[in-house]
A = this chain, B = another copy of it.
Amino acid sequence: MVASGGRDSSADSVRVSGRPANIWDVAKAAGVSHQTVSRVLNDSPSVRPATRERVLVAIDELGYRRNPAARALVTRKSQTLGVVSFDTTLYGPASTLYGIEQSAREAGYFVSVASLKSIDVVSMRDALERLAEQSVDGLVVIAPLREAGDALAELRGKLPVVVVEGGSAPGLASVSVDQVDGGRLATRHLLEQGAQNVHHVSGPADWLESEGRIAGWREELAQAGLEPPELLQGAWSPSSGYAAGRELARMKDVSAVFVANDQMSLGLLRAFHEEGIRVPQDVLVAGFDDVPEAAYYTPPLTTVRQDFAQVGRRSIELLLEQIGEGPGPESHAVVPVELIVRQSSVRSSMQRQHLRSRPAKR
């Protein structure tokens, strides 16, 4: 025994040895077998409270943490979910990812992301491959493109998958926002506000979100007995919205525009502003997404709010169902939308008079 004993037994909760404590170290410290430690770790009911307590103390003293690799090796489960997403810089995907992460965490899962630089089958396949190599327990694919489904079809059955905004690829669980309803809501609202007809600036043709919004717009016009004006196609970006705005400014008979997202709406509003077209006095405008900025556009933008947090939540729920942890087998979830009315689509009565005093529109 050395003079000033207890030097290395100082209650420091940090082990002296190089390697981190393992389950055997804990077992020894607690005077039990490694298996009992394992039982405590896994909340097994069949361990006496007193024993459990001793083990817990030992764990704490040794600063023990369980080795996930060893655990994954034997259980064949990594407790990790993969998320594939395109351009996590955009508001929609970013928000969805956020929701997914929150829900996954609550369910005790980690989230590993793979974002695509370009959205094509090759890089999609590449991302899926990567995640598969990591042996994730399940996959959420934020796949707004039609062709993304092809890459997914391959791994059906091999791995639990939930597709977000990926349409209803047969046999794949999916979550999507009710785009059609959103299109209808916006269009109907514009008509109710007195629009003679409603133009539409859509997203890129191969995006499923574009399709849904176009469909909703067409349906609502049809129901009102109106012929849909020629479609203008954008690319989600402010600049494409600006271009569409310039074009619309040159056209006659434009009394309202439903734009497929808020970013494009901003560009369009800017183009209208430059052309001296007043919103909402001359033309009514509605967007889609309800980004935080929308309320501060000039004018504040009427738009369709998507509940991305709920999209994320439902994705995880559906995924866990497949993995076998959730309730029943449900394969498709639709998240409702909400119309947010702001100035861009509402004419005060005075403003309407203004409109009436201008050259009549068809």
Describe A's contact surface by its main secondary structure: helix
CB distance A263 to B292 under 8 Å? yes
A296-B266 in contact (CB<8A)? yes
**A95 CB contacts on chain B under 8 angstroms:** 89
A292 to B87, CA, bound (A): 13
CB contact under 8 A between A112 and B69, given known A91-B89, A238-B295, A298-B270: no
Contacts of A296 in B (CB 8 A): 238-239, 241-242, 266-267, 270
A87 — which chain B residues lie within 8 A by C-beta? 98
Given A242-B296, A293-B293, A101-B114 contact (CB < 8 Å): yes
> When chains A and B are docked, how far (Å) is the Cα of A242 from the Cα of B293?
11
A235 to chain B, nearest CB (A): 12
Taking a contact as CB atoms closer than 8 A, the residue among B80, B133, B297 that contacts A65 in the complex is B133
A269 to chain B, nearest CB (A): 7
Chain B: CB-nearest residue to A95: B89
Is A151 close to B, CB under 8 A? no
Whole-angstrom distance between the alpha carbons of A65 and B95 in the complex?
33
User: Does A28 interact with chain B (Cβ within 8 Å)?
Assistant: no
Q: Decide if A69 touches B65 in the complex (CB within 8 Å).
A: no
Q: Do residues A298 and B298 form an inter-chain contact, with CB atoms below 8 A?
A: yes
Asked if A97 is at the interface of the complex by the 8 Å CB criterion, the answer is yes
Inside 8 A of A263's CB, which chain B residues have their CB?
Answer: 292-293
A122 to chain B, nearest CB (A): 15
A115 touches B (CB below 8 Å): yes
In the complex, whether A248 has a CB less than 8 A from a CB of chain B is no
Interface string of A125-150 (1 = CB under 8 A from B): 00000101111000000000000000
Q: What residues of chain B lie closer than 8 Å to A132, measured between beta carbons? A: 65
Given contacts A89-B98, A267-B296, 7 further A-B contacts (CB under 8 A): A66-B133, A69-B70, A237-B292, A239-B295, A239-B296, A266-B296, A270-B300
The 30 listed contacts between A and B (C-beta, < 8 Å) are A67-B135, A68-B134, A69-B69, A69-B71, A69-B73, A69-B135, A70-B73, A72-B72, A80-B112, A89-B94, A89-B98, A94-B94, A98-B115, A101-B114, A102-B117, A105-B130, A110-B112, A110-B134, A111-B112, A112-B112, A112-B113, A113-B113, A238-B295, A242-B296, A266-B296, A269-B298, A270-B296, A270-B297, A270-B298, A273-B298
